[in-house]
């Protein structure tokens, strides 16, 4: 009788142990990543994989990300999703500002036509008689609406064209005329008057620059 009871107890213990093994929690399975998977989020890019830098074209909206792109040959263009928001003028050009490039003009396809445009009235300097000032390595020149540099950047200062003539200087220094340096003027150096082809028409006295 004792043997039968002992056998029954052993059977119950064995059943309980088996039940405990079948009800033990299983470790949750995680998806297996490919060996070359990159878990870091990449910067926004278009279908070609090109990424961009921020730009500003509407002061009320503020800076937008991934705006100015660079092509394989180094050419700059505006991301397509922003083109419809740009304010194009009668000549199909729009001004865009970039912390990296500065003010520039782009066409309706988004291509940057002119870069290095000086600041004027909190925006890009505008065209006078078909030409706009540009700055390259601290030197002033002029470009037309097609983006062609018609007067090389060889001057240390330049005023805009008026009646076919512009006043430029060499050896002059720029100084701020207001606390925010939105407006500035040039002083010292040698002053000249040039036409729209860049030909020097006259040499001016520093006090007679207009």
The domain spans of the chain are 46-115, 127-210
**How far apart are the C-alpha atoms of 23 and 121, rounded to whole Å?**
76
* Residue 176 confidence (pLDDT): 84
How far is it between the farthest Cα atoms of the chain? 132
The DSSP letter of residue 85 is: G
Q: Would you tell me which CATH number, out of the four given (3.30.1360, 2.20.110, 2.40.10, 3.40.390), belongs to the domain 127-210?
A: 2.40.10
Backbone angles phi, psi at 177, to 5 degrees: -105, 0
Which tokens is 5 given?
Answer: 């009871």
Closest CA to 171 of 187, 184, 160, 150: 187
How far apart CA 98 and CA 163 sit, in angstroms, is 32
Residue 122 has a pLDDT of: 82
- Tokens at 102, concatenated: 């500065």
19, 86, 177 from 81: Cα distances, Å: 62, 10, 38
Contact 167, 209 (CB under 8 A): yes
Model-level pTM greater than 0.85? no
Do 15 and 22 contact (CB within 8 A), yes or no?
no
* Helix, strand or coil, per DSSP, at residue 12: helix
What token pair was written down for 82?
Answer: 């922003």
Q: What is residue 134's three-state secondary structure?
A: strand
Q: What DSSP state is assigned to residue 9?
A: H
Give, for all 210 residues of the chain, the pLDDT tens digit. Answer: 444 444 443 343 343 444 444 333 333 333 333 333 333 233 344 444 456 889 999 888 889 999 999 998 889 999 999 999 999 999 999 999 998 889 999 999 999 999 999 988 888 999 999 999 999 999 999 999 999 999 999 999 999 999 999 999 999 998 888 877 767 789 999 999 999 999 999 999 766 565
């Amino acid at each position: 009788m004792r043997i039968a009871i002992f056998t029954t107890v052993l059977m119950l213990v064995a059943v309980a142990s088996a039940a405990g093994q079948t009800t033990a929690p299983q470790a949750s399975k995680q998806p297996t990543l490919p060996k070359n998977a990159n878990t870091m989020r990449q910067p926004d890019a278009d279908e070609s994989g090109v990424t961009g830098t921020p730009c500003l074209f509407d002061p009320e909206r503020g800076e937008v990300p991934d705006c100015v792109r660079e092509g394989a040959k180094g050419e700059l263009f505006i991301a397509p999703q922003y083109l419809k928001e740009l304010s194009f003028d009668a000549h199909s050009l729009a001004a865009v500002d970039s912390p990296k490039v500065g003010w520039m003009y782009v066409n309706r396809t988004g291509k940057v036509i002119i870069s290095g445009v000086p600041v004027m009235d909190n925006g890009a300097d505008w065209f006078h008689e078909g030409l706009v000032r540009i700055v390259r390595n601290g030197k002033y020149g002029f470009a037309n609406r097609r983006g062609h540099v018609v007067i090389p950047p060889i001057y240390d200062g330049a005023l805009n064209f008026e009646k076919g003539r512009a006043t430029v200087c060499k050896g002059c220094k720029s100084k701020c005329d207001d606390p925010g340096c939105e407006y500035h003027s040039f002083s010292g150096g040698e002053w000249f008057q040039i036409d729209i082809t860049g030909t020097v028409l006259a040499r001016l006295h520093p006090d007679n620059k207009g």
